[in-house]
């Protein structure tokens, strides 16, 4: 039987490319999405056409604990067991002091911190039985303090702390690592001017933006690195130096 990985936020962008790469390596994929139903369906159709029953879809708004529980129940009611989990889904927007509400706090903490922890709790027995791994996707800006993003950064910082704490707690059965991307893609629905882009690239020693492939390569590495746990892998062209 093929190994199966649950990737959150897998309908588009980095999550989609990770899903396609694990699929090409022979994994079956549980594609989680929230609003991107059409993109998720078309990705699952593409995989299932190539390999029967290789992709399953689960929809959930990860800010909502009930929806996280339903996602878990849906996977379990299909008698599906997972071997790996990538916590990739993320809400990202600025929250300057003086402007945010509790709703903003719940949304940014929900997808970036609370849901990853509760998903790990729900699946840890399966992951333990299957000698699985977890990859949390964080952000290089945790160390760089991106201005006006205190809630998002606190959530991603928490996710990095969880990575280390759970790597120790779940060893020797489950490896838990994180990838901290630098400047990879423009934020959703944003187009940087060439001036903005050049300024960002200027701060990167390797003098380019990253690509989805750079993150995918790191995820594949961590999936195979059997003596690596509790690590935060910066994929940022050296920006954090």
Catalytic positions, written as ranges = 13, 139, 152
Using the rule CB under 6 A, give the single segment among 7-15, 118-126, 189-197, 200-208 that binds ligand NAP: 7-15
Nearer to ligand NAP, 2 or 143 (CB): 143
9 near ligand NAP, judged by CB under 6 A: yes
Contact residue for ligand NAP among 2, 61, 130, 161 (CB under 6 A): 61
Nearer to ligand NAP, 54 or 90 (CB): 90
For the chain, helix, strand, coil in percent to 5 are 45, 15, 40
Contact residue for ligand NAP among 90, 163, 177, 229 (CB under 6 A): 90
Residues in the chain: 241
Query: What's the distance, CA 237 to chain centroid?
Result: 19
Using the rule CB under 6 A, give the single segment among 5-13, 48-56, 125-133, 221-229 that binds ligand NAP: 5-13
> Whole-angstrom Cα distance, residue 186 to residue 136?
20
How many residues bind ligand NAP, per CB under 6 A?
A: 27
85 near ligand NAP, judged by CB under 6 A: no
User: Is the separation of the CB atoms in 128 and 47 below 8 Å?
Assistant: no
6 near ligand NAP, judged by CB under 6 A: no
Contact residue for ligand NAP among 3, 12, 70, 197 (CB under 6 A): 12
Interface of this chain with ligand NAP, residues 109 to 138, rule: CB under 6 A: 110-111, 137
Other CB atoms within a 10 A radius of the CB of residue 213 amount to: 12
Least distance between ligand NAP and beta carbon 51 (Å) = 23
Helix (H, G, I), strand (E, B) or coil at 84: strand
**CA 162, 138, 43: angle at the middle one, nearest 5?**
115
User: Which DSSP letter does residue 232 get?
Assistant: E
Contact residue for ligand NAP among 57, 89, 170, 218 (CB under 6 A): 89
238 near ligand NAP, judged by CB under 6 A: no
Contact residue for ligand NAP among 24, 35, 50, 207 (CB under 6 A): 35
Task: List Cα–Cα distances, 144 to 31, 182, 210, in angstroms.
Answer: 31, 10, 17
Contact residue for ligand NAP among 36, 95, 163, 234 (CB under 6 A): 36
CB contact set of 123 (below 8 Å; sequence gap of 6+): 6, 72, 82, 85
Q: Outline where the chain has alpha helix (H).
A: 13-24, 37-50, 65-77, 102-109, 115-129, 141-144, 150-170, 194-202, 212-224
**Positions in the binding site for ligand NAP (CB under 6 A):** 9, 11-15, 33-36, 61-63, 88-92, 110-111, 137, 139, 181, 183-185, 188
């Amino acid at each position: 039987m093929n190994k199966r990985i649950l990737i959150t936020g897998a309908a588009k962008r980095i999550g989609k490319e990770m899903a396609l790469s694990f699929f090409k390596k022979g994994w079956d994929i549980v594609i989680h999405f929230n609003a991107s139903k059409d993109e998720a369906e078309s990705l699952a159709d593409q995989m299932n056409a190539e390999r029967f029953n290789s992709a399953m879809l689960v929809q959930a708004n990860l800010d909502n604990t009930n929806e996280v529980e339903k996602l878990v129940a849906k996977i379990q009611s299909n008698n599906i067991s997972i071997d790996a989990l990538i916590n990739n889904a993320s809400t990202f927007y600025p929250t300057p002091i003086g402007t945010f509400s509790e709703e903003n706090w719940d949304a940014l903490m929900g997808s970036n911190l609370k849901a990853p922890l509760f998903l790990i709790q729900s699946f840890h027995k399966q992951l333990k039985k299957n000698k699985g791994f977890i990859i949390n996707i964080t952000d290089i800006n945790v160390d760089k303090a991106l201005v006006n993003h205190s809630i998002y950064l606190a959530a991603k910082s928490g996710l990095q702390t969880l990575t280390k704490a759970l790597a120790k707690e779940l060893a020797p059965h489950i490896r838990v690592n994180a990838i901290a991307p630098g400047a990879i893609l423009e934020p959703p629905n944003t187009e940087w001017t060439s001036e903005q882009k050049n300024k960002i690239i200027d701060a990167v020693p390797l003098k380019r933006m990253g690509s989805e492939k750079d993150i995918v390569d790191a995820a594949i590495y961590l999936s195979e690195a059997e003596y690596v746990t509790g690590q935060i892998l910066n994929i940022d062209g050296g920006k954090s130096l």
